[in-house]
């Protein structure tokens, strides 16, 4: 089962490595990890995506709550929430293919952020499925690189 864990933690040196180390030392694979400072500079918000069953998820939450730097954990998988991810996709283009890439980008509500002589850099935001669909739609073109931010999430109605 896909679990999205939101962690409010102290914005302190080593806090990220403590959380990542705790999970990896127990054999859990992190599918996605993002972290950034909140409106209160003393705290950061970390979003982790882990694929595991309900029992393992409970163990992860209990272990995380034992860390001194962790203030609060919340598994968003079982409650209404919003997820977003950002992707930067570099596509090889020439004069003939450029309009096709622009059209696809507009359909997916993305934007072109850089144009070079032989390539375009496209930005797209949305849930993971939307990003995956956009990349599949670009397959007829030559994709040079894909850079994805990882999942960020927040509960609805907060």
pLDDT band at 80 (very low <50, low <70, confident <90, very high): very high
Q: Does domain 82-155 have CATH number 3.40.1280.10?
A: no
Domain boundary assignment for the chain: 2-75, 82-155
Distance CA 147, CA 131 (A): 11
CATH code linked to domain 2-75: 3.30.70.260
Q: pTM for this structure?
A: 0.84
Count CA atoms within 13 Å of residue 35 on its CB side: 20
pLDDT tens digits along 44-77:
999 999 998 888 888 889 999 999 899 999 999 8
Q: Is there a shared CATH topology between the 2-75 domain and the 82-155 domain?
A: yes
- pLDDT recorded at residue 24: 86
């Amino acid at each position: 089962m896909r679990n999205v864990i939101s962690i409010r933690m102290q914005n302190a040196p080593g806090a990220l490595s403590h959380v990542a180390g705790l999970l990896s030392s127990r054999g859990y694979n992190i599918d996605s990890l993002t972290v950034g400072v909140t409106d209160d500079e003393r705290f950061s918000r970390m979003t982790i995506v882990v694929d595991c069953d309900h029992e393992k998820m409970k163990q992860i939450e209990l272990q995380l709550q034992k860390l001194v730097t962790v203030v609060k954990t919340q598994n968003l998988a079982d409650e209404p929430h919003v997820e977003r991810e950002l992707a930067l996709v570099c596509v090889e283009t020439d004069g003939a293919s450029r309009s096709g890439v622009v059209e696809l980008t507009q359909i997916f509500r993305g934007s072109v952020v850089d144009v070079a002589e032989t390539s375009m850099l496209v930005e797209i935001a949305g849930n993971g499925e939307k990003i995956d669909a956009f990349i599949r739609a670009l397959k007829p073109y030559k994709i040079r690189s894909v850079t994805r931010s990882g999942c960020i999430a927040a509960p609805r109605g907060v």
